[in-house]
């Protein structure tokens, strides 16, 4: 734990910069460098053609007095076509490169998030992770596909225009050389302020995304608790925070753009006035004056792209830091080089303690032996440690102290996928995955299972008639989070899904809680008919069938204080007896 704390401290001290952004892009986005360079080259060709067109227009205007040359018109048309082709190709290649790179980055993020350990999700909100995958990667896409290339071509346009203006008239160019630094002095500091505001908007947008995910996923709870007004207020407060930063952004832009336009118009006015004098004296042709004005625009216009790159990089560096926070988080060590596990025969907890947070022990000195084929009920008040105990069996967490053995060997010796493949788990709150009934039943299945087997299992849990009523049978879409399926149906589907894996250990967290008496009896009969060598641990909340369990474990404050059958515990364990009587007194 000390090492981990020091790593977090080191990361907090680290200051992210452009180097980290480039490292993220090259390492995880893996952009197609050849296409990107080709896109940049074509963009440069289009920029050079644009500069050449202006020069050719000068000759075209100056040639009016002497008759327009046909070859000049043809050359102008040819250059325009080249600029068009280069511009279209460049735009496509750079956008394609950006899309391809962000697709790879999102896929890498997705894979990494899937492989993160359970404790990571305990500490981080779902909506924020979703925002990283979608919003922050979009910021990187904008940088790769447009901002970077616009800035490079902007630099070429600025330098090329400046050189050509110097060739046309040195004195007029001095005016531009005065205007450009003045505009830069305004744009750069205000761009930095805009970058900070934009970062705040990104942060608040991520918070809104997180809150909206939670609000949508908990919509039934919200309506059941008549809490719509509270949630509306929370949402309004969140969007108003975004509005506050957005208004600040709008104010700056509203001030910045008119100031820059006034400076630009003033410069153009001076150029036209002074240029008109030069034309009258014969020091400058009309064509040269028009070309100079066009070059001035071509030089000043890209300034926003060049300075905007600084702002975009700063914004993207912020996104990089958040994405790196995920990608640098260690994935779950699945111990793939560990031993295989063909079946779970024995489980032994030897003085096991577990802390979610250092210093706050949740499981305390657990000593427990489980043999193959046992049917065990695990009971106790909420917060007594029941779910944490089975979470250790699923290898979601490692014991803080003590040792957990499987088949006489430390669980740490086995590959985690091998352990989990031997466990079927049914939670009390069942969320089905998006997809069809078949997709859900076969989730995580390690061997092929035919439809007849699935249908048979569904019939055994009382879902046969319901399945026949579905127009698409096993191909029926269950809807988001299984909302097209009732709670009782979801629980029975989850039981079938667990049994399809043919586990050697079945963990049920009150698997019949949402069932009526008839279907509860069906599921209980199915569980009674399971193979004799299948070990079953059931977290029991309702004690109406507790007498049927040969072995009952009673937990209090992270300890197992009772171990025996119902008759034994009633006689020897006062707290169990009280717990049992209270259950029946309150129905």
- 163: CATH: 1.20.1560.10
Rounded Cα–Cα distance for residues 61 and 534 (Å): 93
Shared domain for 191 and 77, answered yes or no, is yes
Q: How far apart are the first and last CA of the chain?
A: 45
Residue 430 has pLDDT above 80, yes or no: no
In a domain, 2, yes or no: no
pLDDT at position 568, please?
Answer: 93
pTM of the model: 0.73
Task: Band the pLDDT of 67: cuts 50, 70, 90.
Answer: low
Which range in 313-322, 423-432, 565-574, 577-586 is most confidently predicted, on average pLDDT?
565-574
Position with higher pLDDT, 7 vs 300: 300
Shared domain for 35 and 183, answered yes or no, is yes
Position with higher pLDDT, 258 vs 16: 258
Shared domain for 283 and 154, answered yes or no, is yes
Shared domain for 426 and 323, answered yes or no, is no
Rounded Cα–Cα distance for residues 457 and 496 (Å): 6
Domain boundary residue among 309, 327, 345? 327
Give 435: exposed, middle or buried? Use CB within 10 Å, 0-12, 13-18, 19+.
middle
pLDDT at position 363, please?
Answer: 96
SS3 385: coil
In a domain, 358, yes or no: no
In a domain, 566, yes or no: no
Task: Band the pLDDT of 5: cuts 50, 70, 90.
Answer: very low
Residue 479 has pLDDT above 50, yes or no: yes
Q: pLDDT tens-digit profile of 239-262?
A: 888 888 888 888 887 887 788 778
Active site residues: 510
* β 401-406/346-357 pair status: antiparallel
Shared domain for 319 and 435, answered yes or no, is no
Average pLDDT over residues 312-325: 79
In a domain, 389, yes or no: no
Shared domain for 268 and 142, answered yes or no, is yes
Average pLDDT over residues 517-527: 71
301 is written with which tokens?
């216009």
SS3 285: coil
Domains identified in the chain, total number: 2
Domain of 95 in residue numbering reads as 14-327
Residue 378 has pLDDT above 50, yes or no: yes
In a domain, 399, yes or no: no
Shared domain for 310 and 430, answered yes or no, is no
Shared domain for 301 and 438, answered yes or no, is no
In a domain, 277, yes or no: yes
Shared domain for 432 and 320, answered yes or no, is no
In a domain, 564, yes or no: no
Shared domain for 309 and 445, answered yes or no, is no
Shared domain for 126 and 243, answered yes or no, is yes
Residue 8 has pLDDT above 50, yes or no: no
Rounded Cα–Cα distance for residues 390 and 378 (Å): 10
Q: pLDDT tens-digit profile of 286-308?
A: 888 888 888 888 887 777 677 66
Residue 1 has pLDDT above 60, yes or no: no
Residue 45 has pLDDT above 50, yes or no: yes
Shared domain for 199 and 92, answered yes or no, is yes
Average pLDDT over residues 537-549: 83
Residue 12 has pLDDT above 60, yes or no: no
Please say whether the dihedral angle defined by the alpha carbons of residues 398, 403, 407 and 413, taken in this order, is positive or negative: positive
CATH number of the domain residue 494 falls in: 3.40.50.300
In a domain, 397, yes or no: no
Domain boundary residue among 327, 359, 394? 327
pLDDT at position 27, please?
Answer: 84
Domain boundary residue among 278, 300, 327? 327
- Long-range contacts (CB closer than 8 Å, 24 or more residues apart) made by 472-477: 472/436, 473/437, 474/436, 474/437, 474/438, 474/441, 475/436, 475/437, 475/438, 476/436, 476/437, 477/435, 477/436
The 10 Å CB-count burial string (b at 16+, else e) for 370-379 is bebebbbbbb
Q: pLDDT tens-digit profile of 327-353?
A: 888 989 999 999 999 999 999 999 999
Rounded Cα–Cα distance for residues 332 and 113 (Å): 10
């Amino acid at each position: 734990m000390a090492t981990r704390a020091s790593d977090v401290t080191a990361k907090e001290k680290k200051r992210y910069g452009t180097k980290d952004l480039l490292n993220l892009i090259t390492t995880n986005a893996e952009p197609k460098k050849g296409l990107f360079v080709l896109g940049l080259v074509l963009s440069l060709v289009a920029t050079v053609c644009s500069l050449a067109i202006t020069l050719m227009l000068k000759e075209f205007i100056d040639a009016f007095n002497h008759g327009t040359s046909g070859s000049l018109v043809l050359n102008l048309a040819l250059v325009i076509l080249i600029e068009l082709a280069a511009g279209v190709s460049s735009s496509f290649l750079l956008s394609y490169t950006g899309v391809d790179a962000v697709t790879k980055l999102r896929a890498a993020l997705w894979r990494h998030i899937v492989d993160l350990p359970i404790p990571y999700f305990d500490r981080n909100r779902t909506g924020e992770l979703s925002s990283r995958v979608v919003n922050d990667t979009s910021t990187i896409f904008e940088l790769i596909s447009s901002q970077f290339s616009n800035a490079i071509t902007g630099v070429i346009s600025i330098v090329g225009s400046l050189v050509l203006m110097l060739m046309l008239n040195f004195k007029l160019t001095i005016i531009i050389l005065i205007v450009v630094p003045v505009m830069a002095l305004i744009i750069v500091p205000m761009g930095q302020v805009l970058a900070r505001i934009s970062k705040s908007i990104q942060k608040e947008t991520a918070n809104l995304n997180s809150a909206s995910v939670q609000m949508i996923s908990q919509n039934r709870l919200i309506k059941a608790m008549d809490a719509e007004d509270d949630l509306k207020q929370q949402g309004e407060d969140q969007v108003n925070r975004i509005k506050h930063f957005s208004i600040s952004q709008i104010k700056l832009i509203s001030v910045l753009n008119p100031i820059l336009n006034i400076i630009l118009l003033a410069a153009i006015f001076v150029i036209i006035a002074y240029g008109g004098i030069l034309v009258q004296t014969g020091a400058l042709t009309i064509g040269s004056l028009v070309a100079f004005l066009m070059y001035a625009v071509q030089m000043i216009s890209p300034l926003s792209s060049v300075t905007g790159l600084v702002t975009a990089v700063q914004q993207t560096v912020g996104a990089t830091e958040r994405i790196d926070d995920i990608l640098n988080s260690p994935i779950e060590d699945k111990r793939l080089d560990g031993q295989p596990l063909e079946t779970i025969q024995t489980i032994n907890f030897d003085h096991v303690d577990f802390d979610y947070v250092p210093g706050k022990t949740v499981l305390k000195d657990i000593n427990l032996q489980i043999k193959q084929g046992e049917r065990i009920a695990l009971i106790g008040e909420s917060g007594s440690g029941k779910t944490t105990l089975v979470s250790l069996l699923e290898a979601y967490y490692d014991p803080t102290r003590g040792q957990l053995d499987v088949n006489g060997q430390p669980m740490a010796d086995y590959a985690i996928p091998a352990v989990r493949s031997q466990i079927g788990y049914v939670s009390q709150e069942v969320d089905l995955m998006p997809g069809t009934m078949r997709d859900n039943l076969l989730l995580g299945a390690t061997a092929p299972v035919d439809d007849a087997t699935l249908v048979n299992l569904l019939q055994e849990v009382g879902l046969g008639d319901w399945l026949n009523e579905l127009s698409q049978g096993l191909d029926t879409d269950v809807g988001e989070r299984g909302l097209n399926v009732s709670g009782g149906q979801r629980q029975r589907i989850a039981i079938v899904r667990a049994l399809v894996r043919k586990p050697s250990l079945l963990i049920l967290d009150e698997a019949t809680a949402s069932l009526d008496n008839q279907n509860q009896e069906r599921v209980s009969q199915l569980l009674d008919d399971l193979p004799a060598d299948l070990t079953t641990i059931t977290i029991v909340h309702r004690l109406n069938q507790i007498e049927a369990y040969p072995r009952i474990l009673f937990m209090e404050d992270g300890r197992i204080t009772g171990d025996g059958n119902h008759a034994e515990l009633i006689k020897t364990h006062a707290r169990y007896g009280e717990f049992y009587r209270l259950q029946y007194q309150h129905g």
